[in-house]
Amino acid sequence: MFLFRDSVHRPMRRVLGLTVTMLLLSGLTGCSRFEPEASLRLVPPAEFETWWSKTEQCSGLHASFQRVQWYVVPGDSFSCPGGRCVGHWEDNHTIYIAEDWLQNEMVVRHEMLHDLIGHPGHPDPPFGDGCPLTWATWGGDGASLRAGDAPPRID
Ligand SMILES: [Zn+2]
């Protein structure tokens, strides 16, 4: 009788132990990744592919547009590690854009350039000289926003 109980219960205990470990691990990795709560998966508009090509050209860096996962966050900004952002890039090829800024070429291409160079921070070149994709260097649509005290943050 004891032998029987043992053979049934011991494997079950091991399965439960594994499940708990897996939950703990997924909880930990979930915390380390930036992920605004209300973000929604975005099918990138055709215009984004044009912007990607332009960003490849100005930087001389090339990669598949398909590797980027796009998310839209409702509203005009979202909370990010640096405060409030209108755009944010993660090194797993994930880009978050606040809904109100989806049409802003500079904001979208700024995040694309992060994905092409593969790190945060804004070395010049390509940011600025080559690709004028910062508030300080952009002369296109929405350039007047740089005049504000604190232009919308793009990570
Ligand atoms: Zn940036």
Q: Share the mean pLDDT of the chain.
A: 84
Q: How many CB atoms lie within 10 A of CB 78?
A: 23
CATH class of residue range 40-154 = alpha beta
- Measured CA to CA, the distance from residue 154 to residue 44 in angstroms comes to 19
What is the whole-number distance in angstroms between the Cα of residue 8 and the centre of ligand 1? 56
The pLDDT, as a whole number, for residue 143 is 81
**Assign residue 149 a region: left if phi > 0, alpha if psi is -120 to 50, beta otherwise?**
alpha
Q: Is residue 155 within 8 Å of residue 149, measured between CB atoms?
A: no
Residue-wise pLDDT for 42-94, tens only, equals 999 999 999 999 999 999 999 999 999 999 999 999 999 888 999 999 999 99
> What is the SS3 assignment for 93-147?
CEEEEEHHHCCCHHHHHHHHHHHHHCCCCCCCCCECCCECCCCCCCCCCCHHHHH
What is the whole-number distance in angstroms between the Cα of residue 109 and the centre of ligand 1? 10
What is the whole-number distance in angstroms between the Cα of residue 23 and the centre of ligand 1? 33
